[in-house]
Structure 1
Amino acid sequence: MTRPAIVWLRRDLRLADQAAFVAAAACGPVIPVYVLDDETPKHRMMGGASRWWLHHSLSALDADLRKRGSRLVLRRGVAADVLADLARETDAAAVHCLRHYEPWWRNAERALKAALPDGCALECHPGNYLMPPGSVTTGAGQPYKIYTPFWRALAQHMPPPKPVPAPDALDGPKAWPKSDTLVDWKLLPTKPDWATGFGEEWTPGEAGAADRVEAFLDKAKHYEDRRNLPSIEGTSRLSPHLHFGEISPATVWHATMQAGGSVEVFLKELVWRDYAQNVIAQYPDYGKANARDAFDAFPWRDPADSEVKADVEAWQQGRTGYPLVDAGMRQLWATGWMHNRVRMVAASFLIKHLLVDWRVGEAWFWDTLVDADYGSNATNWQWTSGSGVDSNMFVRIMAPLTQSDKFDAAGYIRQWVPELADLSDKDIHDPEAAGKFVKGYPKKRIAHKQARERALAAHAKIKT
């Protein structure tokens, strides 16, 4: 009998347009494997919200595989060791996977290649991005650091190849290796179950991703006008599906590119995802190290100080006294997701109003976002703080109250800060200034003008 091939799954939990499955199936029997590896990433192990998503995505993938005569094998441990042992156990001819660019997965791929038994090859394929990170370069052959020229260069290669449909059937091995039980991994929160609202918002899995694309098609043409309005469902909400690889970016591109209107604005944001991976491929420590050395001396407030701790806790709980910020942070806790415009406002508030190191916010988002992505999360936080290779200037300080009014966030605030629901559209953005002191809603942690002056004074200390 033909020797089987292992498909090593990570953030690529789909059957359609999945190059690892295509390559493995062409050789013979296929053993799909997911390894829950909390040791290789170390402090970058998945956060709580991501683990909730992972549970349901793996369950959906296993069901899809069983419809095709296959199944998903679950193992736990150091991925390189587990897969090498499984290759020996099954006499696998190869391990196929989609290439990943997070530093820990790059290390794991190297370790696995060295650990596999003789006669078993590691085959890494592209497929998680529009183009492999590092393949779009300047005229001098160097990777891009700035987004705009990166977009222009990558756009010359678009559209991507048409996506490959899912296989109708997959041959399995003569005998299936043992598998863990998903429920035994205890990925879902129980005491307390803080994810009760997640299921109302999300349907993890390949079918859920396809439904999201379908629902977005009519909105895509109006994307530029509606994407910044948190009270309107104008975004795609595809980010967690893309992060877990339940749909390929090529599939999304082809599905939306003919929508007309301002769909190019959406496609540019899809390219931003590629750009973020391009950045972490150059700067593996981007999630914890400032790209601009000057920010290493930035006078952030002491995180051990009791007042700073209280400020951070108020931000996390959505009790800053700034309704738009609070609505966003409460939406995040309740659903594992936050509207993109509000993410920028909430991040800017932590960094520039509260003068708290961006890494504190990045860590909170890593734990609470269902789309917590190392490249995108780190790139967005460093963009906001001004410390990134391509970033907003620190001195451009977002005014949450102005942003709230400008982007018509009244309905959004009413949904997520219900104690303010009875206020008028005019007063709800800044109840304190309107003299509307609502019982149970806090006063501002700091006034905007005071926060701005403090932030500019802090930044002046590193300008030299």
Structure 2
Amino acid sequence: MTETPTLVWLRDDLRVGDNPALHAAVERGHPIVVFYLHDDESEGLRAIGGASAWWLHHSLAALADELESRGSTLVLRRGAAEKELPRLVKETGASAVYWNRRYGGASREIDARIKASLRDDEVEAHSFHANLLHEPWTVQTGDGRPFRVFTPFWKASLAKDDPREPYPAPKKIDGGTAPASDSLDDWGLLPTAPDWAGGLRETWTPGEEGAWKQLDAFIDDSLEDYESHRDEPAVDATSRLSPRLRWGELSPFQIWHHVRARATTAAQKKNASAFLREVGWRDFNYNILFHFPDLASKNFRPSFDVFPWEKPKKRELEAWQEGRTGIPLVDAGMRELWHTGVMHNRIRMVTASFLIKNLLIDWRVGEEWFWDCLVDADEANNPANWQWVAGSGADAAPYFRIFNPVLQADKFDKSRRYQSKWIPELGTDDYPEPIVDLKKSRQEALDAYEVVKREGNG
């Protein structure tokens, strides 16, 4: 009698190593159908941006090669999960469906309905903990509420048992008979008219193999000086692993244990703790998203609902988007974003502060632009970090903390290497004058914040 297959449904976990759903399917011992469902139809799910679509295409292609080398096939389908998944179960005669958990509001609701429906049809349905060090409901205050401040959240996380050891990648996967698959090229994830992705191709090699090479290079070349140089955008001191975590090419468990195992000197061990704290910040943001699913559209602190945002002026907004504000550190960051699909974290804060506080443009406008331009656009990190800069988020910087991009450049890019790299015309007549007076606009931002303090009890 032919064994009925197990379906493994991949989402933000495009890897074969430390993939709990895939590991459990292998342990079950039945043939396995690994599939990725590109759901851009279900209500409540946020459509990915252009840079993320580019990354997804190449990461799926790399994953397909990884699976093929182990005897399996990646099946691609597109459509609403609640329609397409039951259809695939019927096609394959699957007796079980496994997946790794998601934490956004709409995705959780979709997964819960699918799980209930499958079980009603006597199909096994199991979800697994895969993509956060600690799931949101496991790290709470003493009275059972979610943390709103990072430091006590991280302290409570560290007080728990060490994150579990990663699962090994299966050497062989019994792929059985694979059902029909969409063609990845037919999904149209890559830009064509025009093809603006040259900088992304130059910068990145998506996929699990590229992720591991990047992690090892960071440990070997940068970890020992991470804390002292991480704020300097011209120095290659950060891990640049954010898109790897966003798409699940590496799990936080793999990063946690690999960094700890490879950090042997006293300096490396000290810096490893500082780096892993940043992985914990990602956990914290997902903790916020889990309890506040409207993070990308609503102020976490309702007092900011009365903030008198300016209506975005087309000229000013486009100057910010295109890196033509006449403020060199801001412009360098926005050009780095367009070319590479990422931006140095210190510069993300500077560019966001400039938009929100010097141009008085609603943080949601900037968050949407980053969502489209970032290869690591993450449903928790992106809005949480924008709200942090705006002062409207959890454990946010106070609104009156306004990053002065000139002083930030003097402190973190003294040699102007970063600014000169991205602005070749800097210092010539071709570079524009500033679109706004930093001192005057700072005061206007503080005056606007008085409305929050007066009417919103900010």
Q: Same fold (TM over 0.5)?
A: yes
Distance 1:129 1:114 in 2: 24
Distance 2:90 2:45 in 1: 30
Aligned to 1:401: 406
Residue 359 in structure 1 maps to residue 372 in structure 2: no
1:159–1:254 Cα contact (<8 Å) kept: no
RMSD across aligned positions (CA): 1.2
1:98–1:126 Cα contact (<8 Å) kept: yes
Alignment of 1:243-262 (within 5 A): 243-257=246-260, 258=263, 259-262=268-271
The amino acid across from 1:56 in the alignment is H
Aligned to 1:298: 307
Residue 368 in structure 1 maps to residue 377 in structure 2: no
Distance 1:267 1:3 in 2: 41
Pick aligned residue for 2:141 from 138, 142, 165: 138
Aligned to 1:96: 98
Q: CA deviation at 1:200?
A: 1.2
Pick aligned residue for 2:315 from 303, 307, 310: 310
Give the TM-score normalised by structure 2: 0.95
SS of 2:453's partner is coil
The amino acid across from 1:342 in the alignment is I
Q: CA deviation at 1:324?
A: 0.5
Q: CA deviation at 1:221?
A: 2.3
Residue 220 in structure 1 maps to residue 223 in structure 2: yes
Aligned to 1:182: 184
Pick aligned residue for 1:380 from 364, 367, 385: 385
Q: CA deviation at 1:166?
A: 0.4
The amino acid across from 2:216 in the alignment is E
Aligned to 1:446: 436
The amino acid across from 1:181 in the alignment is S
The amino acid across from 2:34 in the alignment is P
1:328–1:342 Cα contact (<8 Å) kept: yes
Q: CA deviation at 1:450?
A: 0.7
2:45–2:107 Cα contact (<8 Å) kept: no
2:328–2:423 Cα contact (<8 Å) kept: yes
Aligned to 2:129: 126
Q: Cα deviations across residues 300-342 of structure 1 (Å, max 9, x unaligned)?
A: 0013xxxx12111110000111100000000100110100100
Aligned to 2:295: 286
Q: CA deviation at 1:124?
A: 0.6
2:35–2:77 Cα contact (<8 Å) kept: yes
1:222–1:263 Cα contact (<8 Å) kept: no
Distance 1:41 1:347 in 2: 29
Aligned to 1:156: 159
Aligned to 2:208: 206
Distance 1:322 1:346 in 2: 10
Pick aligned residue for 2:82 from 67, 80, 83: 80
Distance 2:137 2:368 in 1: 26
Aligned to 2:42: 40
Residue 26 in structure 1 maps to residue 31 in structure 2: no
Distance 2:446 2:183 in 1: 54
Q: CA deviation at 1:94?
A: 1.2
Q: CA deviation at 1:373?
A: 0.2
Aligned to 1:147: 150
Alignment of 1:264-275 (within 5 A): 264-275=273-284
Q: Which runs of 4+ in 1 moved over 6 A?
A: none
SS of 1:21's partner is helix
Distance 2:62 2:190 in 1: 15
Q: Cα deviations across residues 406-426 of structure 1 (Å, max 9, x unaligned)?
A: 002511111101111xx5xxx
2:115–2:126 Cα contact (<8 Å) kept: no
The amino acid across from 1:329 in the alignment is M
Aligned to 1:461: 451
Aligned to 1:277: 286
Q: Cα deviations across residues 129-166 of structure 1 (Å, max 9, x unaligned)?
A: 11112211111122212111000000123531221110
Percent of matched pairs sharing the same residue: 49
SS of 1:237's partner is coil
Q: CA deviation at 1:290?
A: 0.4
2:350–2:405 Cα contact (<8 Å) kept: yes
SS of 2:138's partner is coil
Alignment of 1:414-429 (within 5 A): 414-420=420-426, 423=427
Structure 2 segments unaligned to the other structure (5+ residues): none
The amino acid across from 1:292 in the alignment is R
Q: 1:204 to 1:141 in 2, by over 3 A?
A: same
Distance 1:40 1:365 in 2: 22
Structure 1 segments unaligned to the other structure (5+ residues): 424-437
Distance 2:42 2:290 in 1: 18
The amino acid across from 1:25 in the alignment is V
